[in-house]
Each structure stands twice: as C-alpha cells, then as structure tokens.
Amino acid sequence: MDLSDTLKAIVDIARLKTSEKDIDIVLKLDEAIRFKVMADTTVINQIFLNLINNAIKFTEHGHIEISGALLEKTEDIAHLVFAVKDTGIGIPSKKLDAIFQQFNQGDSQTKLKYGGTGLGLAIVKRLVGGYHGEIDVESTVGHGSIFQFTLKLSICKNSKSSKDDYKIRTHTSCHALIVEDNPINQQY
C-alpha cells in the first residue's frame, strides 16, 4: 500500500463526518514517508479510523491534526511515528492509563453522553502491537488529546507508482464468472 494515498483517503472519509461540526481536519505527512509498504490496508484503516472517529466524537470546535513521520529506515523496514491530535474535551489524568483496557470509557458520564463500547482503543492497541508498535496518549481536560503511535512496516521493494498499476490493469484481459439472482444487480 501507498501510505500517503491511504491516509488521504482516510482523511477524506473523516471530513464527511465533520460536516455538521466546526472542525477542520489537517493531514501533515513528512516527505520522507512517501513510499510503499507491505501492510494490511484494512488494519491500517481501522487503527486510524478508530482514533480519528474518537477525535471527531469528543471535539466540538477547533481542529484535528493527523501527522506521520519517519523515525528510522533500513533497507527493508520503516519505523514510523503517527499522531492524531484534537482540541476536544480531553481525558482526566487519572483515567489515562485505563482507556486502552477493554470496556473502559474514561469517565462515568461518557457512556451516557457519547455512547460507545469502550472497545475501540483496546483494539487499536492490539493492532498497533501487531506491527511491533506502541501507543501512548497525552491529554489535558478542556484542551484536547494527542494519541501517538509507532509502527514498523516492511518497505515494498517493487515500488511502482499507482499510475503504472493502472496501465497494467487496463491492458490485461480478464474473465470473471459472476453469479447473481437479482435482475437489477445482474444488469448493474
């Protein structure tokens, strides 16, 4: 996957969710991370969307900043650091350690007011761990939160641009058997 394309797509989805709120979403990617990596797009999407959806949920005004930078790069592995920063309600310091545990929702009023399951961050922590990464949070009540995490991803050596991929796909003749019982779907 191309990290910068994937993140731009995630941010576009997130922007749709902020249309009713007074929030700007900004993506700041270090030039140094514009390369392809071997990673499961579904997992990477899930990590970012869980964190960004929380940022949107707990922020009424201001901005959400998603950033990514390179910590270290060898020939095969990129060690990356990302952050999702918001200007929302923040998390009380005594609750910070517990929010990565399953079914933990920070404040007793949170479930009443915002709903949710208390599972999102526990899942994010496990997924980040799957890529040998760690996640941390810093937060100030009334000012906002920063969720920062690292990932170690294998660098894709065959780094064709997406344009090349497209050319190859359009010149390959493909045959597919599609089985569909609904006439409208058949036509589609």
Residues that bind ligand ADP (CB under 6 A): 54-55, 58, 86, 88-91, 99, 104-107, 110, 116-122, 145
Q: Across-strand partners of 20? A: none
Q: Name the residue nearer to ligand ADP (CB basis): 130 or 164.
A: 130
CB closer to ligand ADP out of 70 and 107: 107
E strand spans, 36-187: 37-38, 61-73, 77-86, 135-140, 144-155
* Minimum CB distance to ligand ADP, residue 180 (Å): 36
107's CB contacts (< 8 A; 6+ apart) are 91, 92, 95
* CA atoms of 92 and 141, how far apart (whole Å): 6
CB of 127 to ligand ADP, least distance (A): 12
Among residues 68 and 105, whose Cβ is nearest to ligand ADP? 105
β-strands 61-73, 22-29: how paired?
parallel
Least separation in angstroms between CB 56 and ligand ADP: 8
